[in-house]
Amino acid sequence: MNAFLRAVVRLGLNRHQVPVLGIRDGYRGLVRAARQVNADTDGLVRLKQEIERNIGNRGLIDAQQNIIQMDHASVSGIMGKGGTILGSARCLDFHKPEVRREVIDLLGKLGVGSLIISGGDGSLTGARLLAEESNLRIIGVPATIDNDLQFTEMSLGVDTAVHTLVWAVDHFIDTARSHRRVMVLETMGRESGDLARMAALASGAEMVITPESGALTESRMRGLAEKIEGAMTRGRGHAIVLIAEGVKFEPEQKRNGAYILRDAFQAYFQRAGAPFPDLEVRPSVLGHLQRGGHATPGDCILAARFAEEAWKSLLDSNGKNGITALRYNKVEIVPFGCPDLPERSIHSRAMDALHDDLANW
């Protein structure tokens, strides 16, 4: 997101000579600013003075300033940094139409004509509502490491998260290989297994389990354990198993999938007459490790391409509201509610088949 923010600000100032305001903490910052203005009759005057007085880094330093006029220095050196210097936060109040109306009124009073909103499904849903309820020009930008927005081939952050997962797998392999262990690593991905799928292909993980493959039953888990054991009888010395957090279980379970799978595998390996009764299974939930780290070149380039297309659409008198999307390696604007790319599911199945053929022993 920082790479994207830098690209939006620099293109606005350098190419288009248009001032850019940054909103701290996303919709929450807009709601706070709107309530600040509505609190008293001088609220709008004070907000405008604050924006004009505390430009760039001065505004960013002040944690109470919700709207900041960005300058060149404020986005210098941030491209590779993980996260976002503006911050991000959930805002349940933004679900209320009357609260969105307050935000729209505030933006009108500030002379804001366009919004660029970067985020996942929740952020883009908010963008769609603003587009429907106002005369603002709205461009959404997909940024979610789950890569679960099916209208685009890639979202911002995915490439970096895959890189981080491959780094993690490389470190777990050292222990797995040295101690002859099975490592079960849980990745993010509630609705889509793309993150786990890509990481498995790139890291050489022996097994990947995704939500698209259906719920895991006791029988299926025994079959997976049998597959690992069979490979070990043929000479494999360890196994890395990636499981996406969105994988369901039958019967339904409350615990993390990595621990459920560990128990099922361990019970199978320690059954009477098993060839490897001492084989240990170690689970790990990688969690928010995947959401940070230095942005990869691929993400920085995609961020710049998304920013350029967003500006192009906003400044086009015939342009429409929508979302940037990477489709067939071309960046374009698609409408809110755009149908899924049918190739996405086809590609996912092909990747699963490729991984199976590469990982079999």
Name the 3-class secondary structure at 317: coil
- Catalytic residue numbers? 146
Residues 6 or more apart in contact with residue 147 via CB below 8 angstroms: 154, 155, 158, 189, 192, 194, 195
Cα(9)–Cα(298) distance, integer angstroms:
20
Phi, psi (rounded to 5 degrees) for 325: -145, 145
Cα(185)–Cα(259) distance, integer angstroms:
9
| Residue environment code for 118-155, b if the CB has 16+ CB neighbours within 10 A, otherwise e | bbbeebbebbbbbbeebebbbbbbbbbbbbbbbbbbbb
In the numeric block, the tokens 């009764």 are attached to 277
Name the 3-class secondary structure at 281: strand
Q: Dump the DSSP string for 242-257.
A: EEETT--BSS---S-H
Contact predicate 270/312, CB 8 Å: no
Residues 6 or more apart in contact with residue 125 via CB below 8 angstroms: none
Element (H, E) at 311: helix 297-314
Contact predicate 94/31, CB 8 Å: yes
